[in-house]
Amino acid sequence: MKRRVTRPWISSLIRGAFLSWAFAAFLTALALTAVPQWHEWIHPDANSARHECAVTLINSGGCEKIVAAPLAAAPIPVFHFCFVPALHPVWVASPFVSARILEHAPPAIA
């Protein structure tokens, strides 16, 4: 049988409270979108062109995107990578051969 994982009731209570708050905030923003007088009652500057809040974003259909300049520049040819020097193998002694790390002796008391 599989053991069921039970979550503490406090985490489900917090999750439910947050979800209900977010749902209520979204419904409030939808209601303020439908009735502009309520929006003007909450925000006195609701008719200005620079006013942005959740209600104006829902009413306009999204955020205004500002296109930034591209960050990449045109590639510049580099000529010092064209020459590859000849490679010569070099023998390097292993440090583990002299240390004998992997050797094991029998127990002292057999």
50-87 pLDDT, tens digit each? 787 888 878 777 666 667 777 777 777 766 666 667 78
- Which residues are CB-neighbours of 87 under 8 A, at least 6 positions away? none
Q: What is the pTM of this model?
A: 0.46
Closest by Cα among 65, 50, 57 to 30: 57
Q: Where are the domains of the chain?
A: 9-64
Residues 38, 28, 59: CA angle, nearest 5 degrees: 70
* 8 Å CB contact between 30 and 58: yes
